[in-house]
Structure 1
Amino acid sequence: MAKAKPVKKATAATGQIRLIGGQWRGRKLPVLNSEGLRPTTDRIKETLFNWLMFDIRQSHCLDLFAGSGSLGFEALSRGAAEVVLIEKDASVAKQLVQNLASLPAAPGQVIHKDALAFLQTPARAFDVVFLDPPFHQQLLPQACQLLEANGWLSEDAQIYIEREQTSPLLLPLNWRLLKDKQAGQVSYQLYQREAVQ
């Protein structure tokens, strides 16, 4: 009988992310080496937060596939009123909790849960949602539909999507494209939700 392959777990912190703007600009936070974990590059992050420059302060943000927490922590550094980070890997979630605790009085919360399961719990509306799931797992279409259908988005919420270029994208009809860029094999967009008539 063939032996089952061991599941690859997150190991000790072997990398780091850097906050590039706001009150903790320049701060480096440790990141675990975990399969599928792919922090957003500084260049893409800078572009995104330039797009959100006038909207991130005092906003309520959801970092749905948090991973390294790069986007959620950047939002906190730039004055978000609240950031909720969702991460299903227990070791990665624990590292997020430690990193959050190192940012004095940061209004953040880490929830250790599968993102799609989280979106099927009782909802409350967020102003900005970051969607940067692991590549090649076809998680985006269902996440987008659940966000819209289950009441997770404020009336004019902004949704950031980062994905591999070949990934199909089926979006709710009331999401309007605001920005669209590519960097190598990565495609990233910012959408705005429009109220359904």
Structure 2
Amino acid sequence: MIFPLMQAPPTGEVAQLQALERAGFRVAPTWVLVGIEVEFYQLGNLAEQIRRAFQGVFGARLDEERLEQACAFAERLLRESYLLPERAEAIRKALPEALLLVRYAGEPPFGLEAGSQAALWALKRLWASRWQVDAVLAREPQLAPPEAPTLVQQVGPELTLDAGLAEEAARVLGRPVRLWSSGGWVVRVGWV
């Protein structure tokens, strides 16, 4: 589902951003996508295809050549698969025609795109990035990527670490944080 920030399930960074907005901070317009990536995998039977591609990669010894082939296959599979047309249209309608930052909640920015259509393409690239060799090795022996909300945020062209806002946010959130802003709007927050 696609939620405006304040209507999204309050977990992790989403809950932190919601708390800051309730406290009066200017938080960048944010849309939270929950369950859409899971639906994307299910409808395309992607998990099973990826599982088969990775058979024999991890065993007594890591088969590096097969790992690279399986990762390339998984990335290509995600980039070339389709969202449900009605889901793609709903996302496109929800997002403004503006500069949009696409990322996972709790993770660094992934893509900065101009407009809703470009943001849709960035979503698939973001999801495919979970299958890069380094990402797969970092979560091994778990093959499936962790489930995390996807955030799409309207931002300006620059994202900066903002120590002043971080200090104010730490008082609201009750512990030290790092905070990134764009034009005075809170974009990203994380625990120190």
Shorter-chain TM-score: what band?
A: under 0.3
Q: Would you tell me which structure has more helix in proportion to its own residues? A: 2
Q: Would you tell me which structure has more strand in proportion to its own residues? A: 1
TM-score by length of 1: 0.26
Task: For CA contacts below 8 A with separation 6 or more, give which structure has more relative contact order.
Answer: 2
